[in-house]
Structure 1
Amino acid sequence: MTDSTCDLPAETARALGLRVVPLRVVIEGRTFLDGQDLDPEAVYDHQRRGGTVATAPAPQEAFETLYRELLATHDGVVSVHLSGELSDTVRHARAAAGALNAGERVHVIDSGLASLPLAEAALAARDALWRGGDAASAQAAVRRVGEEALAEFTVPTLEYLRRGGRLSRAQELVGNVLGLRPVLRFDGGRLRAVRRVKADDALRDILARLEERFGDEPVAVTVGHAGRDPIRLAELRAALGASRLNVARGRVQLLGPAIGAHVGPGTYGVMARPYEG
């Protein structure tokens, strides 16, 4: 199982063999279950109108409920979650396992990731278990994704990073005057700006980094976008198709409300990792 910051809809995740614990999304004092109670577009529309969106970790009680349910029909649970540097969700998962005295039956893994790479890590853990592996092999699979995958994101506007306190107003102003946008990557469990590029060059720059990293090696690629923008998604697919990447498997995901709340509509990312067949 995993949590909703993997950005896989609950129904899709279940079809893939994953169960999802939702984080909480808070709008105008009302709390919603991420990925269940809200269409992401409603969150993005609220942000475009100037509204603020907050998030809260999945509570311990939610983990206890799902762990009980799964342990009634399974030998054990492997629970793969977003970075503990970004949220208390993984701490709540561990507290729930302790409260249930689950012992070796519940294995909680801090992936150090979120969004596209978290989904990939959870699926890698699933694959390890389906191949007959144990919890240690699932944890090794998660760690391997963190080491092998390269996922980079960028934003079309600095406004939402500034609203969320990740940029000052002065930094936003300078970035807009120069036309620069950050390229973000997970590092040490946090999403950090690794470089700044011209807004129009961001996608080309990200794909060039992926090409440099993987060469002609077959890769699994995932594209994520905050919002249902058919034109932008078509542009992302076309750019990927025109790249030198040897894409053996591709997937498109929408970024969910808990992630989108912090980066804003129009944010996109591309992730690649070696294709394992």
Structure 2
Amino acid sequence: MNTKILADSASDLSKDHYNEYDIEMVPLTVHLNEKEYKDVIDINPKTVYDAMREGKGTKTSQVSPETFKAIFTSYAQENQPLVYVAFSSELSGTYQTAKLMETEVKDEFPDAPLHVIDSKCASIGYGLVVLHVAKLAKNGASTDEIIEAATYQAEHMEHIFTVDDLEYLLRGGRVSKTAAFVGTLLKIKPILHVENGKLVPLEKVRGSKKLFPRMLEIMQDRGTDFQNQTIGISHGDDVERAEQLAEMIKEKFNPKEVVIEMVGSVIGAHAGPGTIALFFLNKPNK
């Protein structure tokens, strides 16, 4: 019996990915116009970005304990191995909730092969980790091999990204007030990264023309073995700039593959429209 892979909607994978690699997805919740929507299922990112451009507030909430308990119980009853690779615990309470429900279900089914992993990753960086282990699972890898691979990929996944307006991250509590440096009037563009699962400002670039070249310099400094890995790019409703960055990467590094996806509703509700994010491994793939 092959191990089943569970991910949540903050992985920003497409429905085609879920279907092709038999990945189960659990949605986080998006709050907009005083209504609740299940991410991916009831709302799409474009709707969220358009609302944010109009000045409307958006919020998100984690997966409910009841949802996790129902999923975990169904797999435990069938004794089906399940590995849930979770959105970074530093950006959402979803991982902690899943761990609590894993413990509850194992009280009833002590031998249930359920495993919950904190990816410490977000968006397509997280999605690339999920895709990697989903391919292993589909090819019959053992649960231990899948856990080892997910842990390695997550540990070595770099996130380099820029946002049009740090105010969105500030409102959502994703960066501190001191970290949300002001640069709009000076045409300063922030570059951020993820450190131990947290969003951390890295540096400031004056002028948008210098932004992508600088991101590629950081990629060259931190990354390795690009020809044998899949590079991820996600964007906040700005596919033109995402494709521009992809072409620059292909020309400079000749990667095995570049995956481009829109930043989903949950992360987009905090990062805002115009976000461009780049993901790659800083060590060779095992």
What TM-score, normalized by structure 2, do the two folds share? 0.86
Q: Select 1:18's aligned residue among 7, 16, 23.
A: 23
1:137 equivalent in structure 2: 145
The TM-score normalised by the length of structure 1 is 0.88
Correspondences of 1:4-83 after superposition (within 5 Å): 4-71=9-76, 75-83=80-88
Q: 2: distance between equivalents of 1:186 and 1:86?
A: 10
Gaps of 5+ in 1: none
Aligned residue runs from structure 1 range 93-172, under 5 A = 93-101=98-106, 102-103=109-110, 104-165=112-173, 166=175, 168=177
Query: Residues 271 and 230 (structure 1 numbering): CA distance in 2 closer, same or farther, change over 3 Å?
Result: closer
Conservation of the 8 A alpha-carbon contact between 2:60 and 2:266: yes
Contact 1:180 1:197 survives alignment (8 Å): yes
Indicate the RMSD between aligned Cα atoms, in angstroms.
2.5
> For the residues of structure 2 that align with 1:177 and 1:121, how far apart are their CA atoms?
37
AA in 1 matched with 2:211: A
Instruction: Check the 8 A contact 1:222/1:252 in 2, yes or no.
Output: yes
Displacement of 1:133: 3.6
Q: What secondary structure sits across from 1:222 in the alignment?
A: strand
Q: CA 1:177/1:96 → structure 2, altered by over 3 Å: closer, same or farther? A: same
**2: CA distance, partners of 1:167 / 1:234:** 31
The one-letter code matched in structure 2 to 1:139 is I
Give the residue type in structure 2 aligned to 1:98: T
State how far apart, in whole Å, the 2-side matches of 1:241 and 1:125 are.
24
Kindly tell me: are residues 183 and 74 of structure 1, through their superposed partners in 2, closer, same or farther at Cα, counting changes over 3 Å? farther
1:267 maps to which residue?
Answer: 275
CA contact (8 A) 2:246 2:258 kept: no
CA contact (8 A) 1:80 1:109 kept: yes
* Partner SS state of residue 129, structure 2: helix
Contact 2:7 2:86 in 1 (8 A): yes
Runs of at least 5 residues in structure 2 that lack an aligned partner in the other structure: 1-5
Match of 1:249 in 2: 257
Query: Does the CA-based 8 Å contact 1:223-1:268 persist in structure 2?
Result: yes
**Where does residue 84 of structure 1 map in the other structure?**
89
Residue 255 of structure 1 aligns to which amino acid in structure 2?
V
Deviations 1:75-100 (A, max 9, x none): 21101101112111011112222222
Structure 1 residue ranges, 4+ long, deviating more than 6 angstroms after superposition: none
What is the count of residue pairs matched by the alignment? 274
Structure 2 residue 201 is the aligned partner of structure 1 residue 213 = no
